[in-house]
């Protein structure tokens, strides 16, 4: 009977057989520190402005939205600066859709994408789903990327797309501008710098936006999911040469970005100052967490993001579970002895610190 039909019984693409869907746990816990969300909800002022803006477009929802999201792209270009304008900015439903469109335009059967691990798990997933081959190159032990290693791998494999994540997820590591520049010089195809965490970087850490004028095949992706506290609204964007935007328009679905999404995003951009002052608090909280973890004997990767990768645990699964038993959800990701924790509110972080001390005492005691 049809109830016993399983996915493998369907005439599914062979390359999708045996795959599992993306599945960061969505558990209802008191302290959710697992998906790098911003812990601060929109202020009342912002949520009221969002409500008014959505009410305005609601009256016109019988019509398709602006297919090219021109106002939003222009607002995002203004936010990014660097002399960008709407012709050099593109937006979609989360930066994951932006990445998917890049793969649709520049990847595909017979093509190859490369990344430097540990890094964002969605890069290989989106790559493979677009029927593009994936090559993973290891980072150094301290999670940095030596330009000569990257250039050697690029020279050897000649990838059509290179993914760089800076600041990197899950390690927090930012890349030097010189490294990105050398990679962009060596790469025969597109170079995508995923800057989902750009706003959280420490003083002095660069953005690849300043390299755009020198490299027409360089793409910098951003998101409103993290710094702008809009993960639920699904807005991602990129900056690149206008020819790259032309390429993306070949693959995007018509009217891919709803009128509601466009106006929500544009309204959030109007609140940039307010949103970035919360980012400043999170950066301070992040730096304090890194210090605290080091003082308590943990190994911690330098972080330019809104999360911290720390360890090293003989049995990270046990630590993860003990924290979860106390209502704190972190992420088992990255190298096997490490855990990643998202920076939350001061109250959440104080609960996390206290519980971690209780728990690692237990976990280490049990392991010894
Ligand atoms: C969270 C994250 C994103 C964001 O994806 P959205 O689809 O914009 O929510 C993109 N890249 C990296 C590396 C991330 O960690």
Confidence tier at 367 by pLDDT (50, 70, 90): very low
Question: pLDDT tens digit string along 242-262?
Answer: 999 999 999 999 999 999 999
Residue 347 CB-density burial (10 A; 0-12 exposed, 13-18 middle, 19+ buried): exposed
Nearest CA to ligand 1 atom 11: 196
User: What's the pLDDT score for residue 365?
Assistant: 41
**Spatial distance between the Cα atoms of 307 and 285, rounded to a whole number of angstroms:** 10
Question: pLDDT tens digit string along 288-343?
Answer: 999 999 999 999 999 999 999 999 999 999 999 999 999 999 999 999 999 999 99
User: What's the pLDDT score for residue 366?
Assistant: 40
Q: Is the pLDDT of residue 25 over 80?
A: no
* Helix segments in 241-305, DSSP class H: 242-251, 259-270, 272-295
**Spatial distance between the Cα atoms of 195 and 137, rounded to a whole number of angstroms:** 19
* Mean pLDDT, the chain, whole residue set: 95
User: What's the pLDDT score for residue 23?
Assistant: 74
Identify whether the C-beta of residue 320 lies closer than 8 Å to the C-beta of residue 339: yes
Tell how far the Cα of 253 is from the centroid of ligand 1, in angstroms: 20
* Full set of structural domains in the chain with CATH: 21-43+276-359 (3.90.1150.10), 57-272 (3.40.640.10)
Q: Is the pLDDT of residue 211 over 50?
A: yes
Residue 268's H or E segment, with its range, is: helix 259-270
Pocket of ligand 1 (CB under 6 A): 36, 94-96, 120, 165, 169, 194, 196, 223, 225-226, 231, 236
What does the pLDDT average to over 42-62?
98
Ligand 1 binding pocket mutation candidate from 26, 94, 95, 200 (most atoms within 8 A of CB): 95
pTM of the entire structure? 0.96
């Amino acid at each position: 009977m049809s109830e016993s039909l399983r996915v493998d019984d369907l005439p599914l693409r062979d390359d999708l057989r045996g795959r599992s869907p993306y599945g960061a746990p969505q558990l209802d816990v008191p302290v959710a520190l697992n998906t790098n969300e911003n812990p601060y909800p929109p202020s009342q002022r912002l949520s009221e402005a969002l409500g008014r803006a959505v009410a305005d477009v609601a009256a016109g929802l019988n019509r398709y939205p602006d297919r090219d999201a021109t106002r939003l792209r222009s607002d995002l270009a203004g936010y990014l600066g660097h002399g960008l304008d709407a012709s050099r900015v593109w937006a979609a439903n989360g930066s994951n859709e932006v990445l998917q469109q890049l793969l649709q335009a520049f990847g595909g059967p017979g093509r190859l994408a490369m990344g430097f691990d540990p890094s964002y798990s969605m890069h290989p997933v989106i790559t493979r789903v677009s029927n593009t081959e994936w090559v993973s190159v290891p980072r150094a032990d301290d999670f940095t990327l030596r330009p000569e290693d990257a250039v050697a791998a690029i020279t050897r494999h000649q990838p059509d797309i290179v993914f760089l994540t800076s600041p990197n997820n899950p390690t927090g590591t930012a890349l030097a501008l010189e490294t990105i520049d050398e990679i962009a010089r060596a790469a025969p195809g597109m170079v995508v710098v995923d800057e989902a965490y750009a706003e959280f970087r420490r003083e002095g850490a660069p953005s690849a936006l300043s390299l755009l004028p020198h490299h027409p095949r360089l793409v910098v992706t951003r998101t409103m999911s993290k710094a702008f506290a809009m993960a639920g609204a699904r807005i991602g964007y990129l900056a690149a040469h206008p020819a790259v935007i032309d390429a993306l328009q070949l693959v995007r679905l018509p009217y891919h970005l709803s009128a509601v999404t466009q106006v929500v995003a544009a309204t959030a951009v109007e609140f940039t100052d307010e949103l970035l002052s919360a980012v400043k608090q999170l950066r301070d909280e992040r730096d304090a967490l890194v210090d605290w973890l080091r003082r308590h004997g943990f190994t911690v990767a330098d972080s330019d993001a809104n999360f911290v990768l720390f360890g090293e645990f003989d049995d990270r699964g046990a630590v993860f579970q003990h924290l979860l038993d106390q209502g704190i959800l972190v992420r088992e990701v990255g190298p096997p002895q490490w855990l990643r924790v998202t920076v939350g509110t001061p109250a959440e972080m104080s609960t996390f610190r206290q519980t971690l001390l209780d728990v690692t005492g237990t976990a280490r005691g049990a392991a010894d």
